[in-house]
Chains A and B, each alone.
Chain A
């Protein structure tokens, strides 16, 4: 309990000073000759060889990009290629000791990371393990291609060919690539080797990697997580949010024995001195050295260090030391690895921001050549040996190019004739109860105060005599959510929930009240006020194998995690060609009463993004049923809730069942039957529409009220059947009218029911203004009479009715001209 932490005024006000430890800079200075007892000759040759794989691979891509040709083979690659010629030592050093249990996440410039970690994994895995991986990956398709085109029996050689080919085919957008070409250069990964997706958004991997580390910590999984980025990413807020999230005091101070300790993650910054064209040190950043930042995050300074990434031995050494720290729960670690890219940001980069002399100076210290010279100096090998290694690498790359550019062997996904290939991977649509059956869910429901309180409640808004039950005695929407979430906790050992004020407080709106008593810290905790970290870590947690409910206290805060929700949560399932599953339920409570930045229904922003399911329940029955569905599902769900509705009882169903049931995503619900006009609502406007229906009935007009409940997916058939009957439809929600999801629905309904329409579908939303103060809500949010007004003005004039609000076409044109 956080009440155990006493904020002592005497302590807080005491005079003192903060002390810092010195941060080591390029401490390691050993060369090959100094460590011949630590590494075998083969080890050195492997380091040298792997650096060459990266060098040659990147050189090949550069030639193909700039000349459409490599070693006499012609190919045009329109996709991106952010190359890292010059950075090889840093990658190989990092990957040298990593195992497939160590997850690595990277950036847009990650070909080197992918190659180094894969080659390292191939060295460590047995032949049997490699064959199993190759046979099982994508039903053995890549393995078959390699076997048919090789004359060697050496499994490791075949595995290297397999890896180079699968990676290159992915870059060339071929169906035989690791993600069927749907990820491409900037998003390549290979799960069986512990390689998680690289990310085209600068700094985008940091929260996701942190979430994967959280998964390892909360589910006692072995291995550590590497979060790679460049120095440019240090300017990104989510990177800092992630480092803080991974270091939270509670991890060491409050989490239970066995789960405590900083998250097992190393934030690795490949510092090549440039964030695209902006020079970090001296121009765009203030840190002087990236390693300094560790001192700003934790008292242990994140064990930060600057390491010479031009010396692969220095990086290997650093990783051996830092791994131990992280495994002991003393992480996270911040590691700055110095490197330099000879090539531009991309092949179209004219390098106008640096001098030739600077590039030449780094080339003069080329890590590969230098390492080769050191090997000769130490008597490991001679020049011919080195040349042989280089030539062998070139042959391997040539093989991969030859196969991957061959349109017969390596075709593209046939989306012209089979768009269903993509349709089928936008969502996984599976039902999985427990994502990790090897573990038992940790929960203690003994004498739970919330469960007891709910057991005494009436599970309907009305008692047996049809009289309204008082709020406190009614089973409310928040209770429906609670029951479903509790059920999820009981069944899925990986399920965790977090957000701001989730523990102790029970969430700002008391949905989680009672869970604090039932759950250990690692299953329910308070996050920092870091929405990017909340949403981003949830993506990583799910990607690594868990299920998570993340909460943004107000829907408005989605702006704080736009990338994490719109680019990461929504896309990774499809970008991984359906391999990665992202069962994240992002709870999005829509506020009210708190003005312009705390009361916006932004569900329309979410429905615009392909890959997100979006639901918005408004009754206890629907809330429980939809949350149950969400918690068994395997896809990201934006779970929109209305704060003003949390205390609503069930007014439509006879009662909310105590047992488990699901409300299927996509099915709208007819809340009131009628014959003359259909009112389709999203969100709490359901109740506004019910009031409007009452008003209309005074004029002899019978309204049918349908709650969409689910925005994505959505079954239009229910609505179209209703419109065929009534010929008239009004769509209403509290979202501002322009760009509201209702506009999309209105457009589709117009098309699907055109011949049956007696008037245009009319959208009644909030004004295109900022939300004014609560006292002025009636001027901004749709009111029951607005719905009647819109009906009268646009669909069917009601004799004797005078509208209170201007819904004429002229007004719409006038407002549009003003942009309001």
Chain B
């Protein structure tokens, strides 16, 4: 019967050994005691001797192979013997594999939770507990602990100062009065605590960061929307025939922005303390009002798209955002943003720049205005644009120039289309 030669287990910590040299090859005949192969662990080198005499029928591992202990590495026997049983041996017991899987599962569970950092304010646990018990507002406490920590005595002082606010002689009575007031207020005011959604938290964070880190200011300018409106009207008539989608005013404005912005590169850019990164294409962010809150998907390469293409893309992105199915990749990467509140009759506002962008265009509603044309007073549709820019990246005149060009392009929209 053929004999399998296993990789010996040299100590319990050793799981596998490397075959460093074969002294025999398939077909060789070996005698008991002949060194078959040499192998090593990280600690020592060994020789494996043949325990039986016979012919090497098969060699199952090559020099340099790291062979699990107890795996068969060669087979010795008489020529022609069946060695199939050694060829199907697998390494690693089922038990071990199962154990590994279990460990993996556990790890996945653990990875879910992450905790945020608490208040910067230092308060001792005891002071915090005491303030909660007494319903005191810790923000009014004067810290006297080490390193500006609010400690027990500060809470006691706070409670004591409460007496001074309410008039009265008897300390005990006053003290009660304080507590009663707090308690009453708590009872009267009915409210519901609504936990922030993640989207809300992200918006809060990025908007606050935007206003605290940038030098923002907003410019307003209105333009005569007559040309734009009549163009849109003409489109409506021919849209079906020409296979066009329903092109909105916002689409038209975005188109105009995509064509104007490349002449005002500092607005199609990202700003950081070291440099201004100017983009070659206009990746246009469009603010979308969704049930979850504000989302800003990006129309990448808007400057290379036709008006119809922009319109189609805007509708796709809008519905994806509205349904909450939008890929996070589409919510980043914009080089400039357009935000439209026109449908709510807003006449002017100060949109907030999405960092690290340098500007955002607020689109307002249509209003009726009059102007003098050839000595006559003429009524026309006007639209206001509010451009907020980061004064760190651009100057006021730059913003004025962009607004001017944008308004002129919109007033002569057919000409812009022809370019």
Contact = CB atoms under 8 A, between A and B. Distances in A.
A432 interface: no
A758 interface: yes
Contacts of B11: 346-348
Nearest to A750: B125
Contacts of A77: 12
Contact of B151 (A65, A78, A755, A796): A796
A727 B152 CA distance: 8
B144 interface: yes
Nearest to A724: B126
A763 to B, nearest CB: 16
Interface string B128-154: 010000000000000011110101110
A65 B11 CA distance: 7
A794 interface: yes
B175 interface: no
Contact of A755 (B10, B43, B126, B153): B126
B145 A757 contact: no
B9 A66 contact: yes
A65 B43 CA distance: 17
Contacts of B41: 348
B6 A67 contact: yes
Contact of A350 (B46, B127, B149): B46
Given A68-B9, A350-B46, A796-B153, A759 B70 contact: no
B8 interface: yes
Contacts of B152: 727, 758
A730 B125 CA distance: 17
Interface string A744-761: 000000000011111100
Given A350-B45, A759-B145, A727 B126 contact: yes
Interface in A779-820: 793-797, 809
B124 interface: yes
A2 interface: no
Interface in B59-86: 70
A759 B151 contact: yes
A352 interface: yes
B199 interface: no
Given A67-B8, A350-B45, A758 B147 contact: no
A78 B12 CA distance: 5
B323 to A, nearest CB: 45
B14 interface: yes
A695 to B, nearest CB: 19
Contacts of B147: 809
B415 interface: no
B397 interface: no
B125 A756 contact: yes
A299 B266 CA distance: 102
B20 to A, nearest CB: 13
B6 A348 contact: no
Contacts of A757: 124-126
B44 interface: yes
Interface residues of B, number: 27
Interface string A194-219: 00000000000000000000000000
A455 to B, nearest CB: 51
B145 A797 contact: yes
A350 B151 CA distance: 65
Contacts of B129: 755-756
**Size category of the binding interface on chain A:** 20 to 34
A65 B144 CA distance: 67
Nearest to B45: A350
Contact of A758 (B12, B13, B127): B127
B125 A348 contact: no
Name the residue among B10, B44, B147 with the largest chain A CB count within 10 angstroms.
B10
Interface string B43-58: 1111000000000000
Contact of B126 (A65, A758, A794): A758
Nearest to B151: A758
Contacts of B43: 348
A794 B147 CA distance: 9
Contacts of B44: 348, 350, 352
A488 to B, nearest CB: 46
A797 B125 CA distance: 17
A77 B11 CA distance: 10
Contacts of A350: 10, 44-46
Contacts of B127: 758
A461 B44 CA distance: 68
Interface string B24-43: 00000000000000000101
B214 to A, nearest CB: 35
Nearest to A350: B44
Interface string B264-296: 000000000000000000000000000000000
Contacts of A67: 6, 8-9, 70
Name the residue among A78, A346, A754, A759 with the largest chain B CB count within 10 angstroms.
A759
A68 B70 contact: yes
Contacts of A793: 146
B38 to A, nearest CB: 11
Contacts of B6: 67
A755 B126 CA distance: 5
Contacts of A759: 124, 145-146, 149, 151
Contacts of B70: 67-68
A758 B149 CA distance: 9
A158 to B, nearest CB: 33
Nearest to A799: B144
A756 B133 CA distance: 13
Nearest to A794: B146
A809 to B, nearest CB: 7
A809 B149 CA distance: 14
Interface string A341-353: 0000011101010
A755 B125 contact: yes
Nearest to B14: A348
Contacts of A65: 9, 12
A799 B379 CA distance: 77
Contacts of B153: 796
Nearest to A78: B12
A723 B10 CA distance: 56
A756 B149 CA distance: 15
B102 to A, nearest CB: 14
A793 B45 CA distance: 60
A68 B147 CA distance: 63
A758 B10 contact: no
A757 B127 CA distance: 8
Name the residue among A347, A348, A796, A797 with the largest chain B CB count within 10 angstroms.
A348
Contact of A796 (B12, B14, B145): B145
A352 B38 CA distance: 14
B124 A758 contact: yes
A797 B129 CA distance: 21
B126 A797 contact: no
Interface string B144-184: 11110101110000000000000000000000000000000
A67 to B, nearest CB: 7
A629 B73 CA distance: 64
Interface of B: 6, 8-14, 41, 43-46, 70, 124-127, 129, 144-147, 149, 151-153
Given A67-B8, A809-B147, 14 more contacts: A66-B8, A66-B10, A78-B12, A347-B11, A348-B11, A352-B45, A727-B124, A727-B126, A754-B125, A757-B126, A758-B124, A758-B151, A759-B151, A795-B151
13 contacts: A67-B8, A348-B13, A350-B45, A727-B152, A756-B125, A757-B125, A758-B145, A758-B152, A759-B149, A795-B145, A796-B146, A797-B145, A809-B147
Closest 4 pairs (CB-CB, A-B): A348-B11, A758-B126, A758-B152, A350-B44
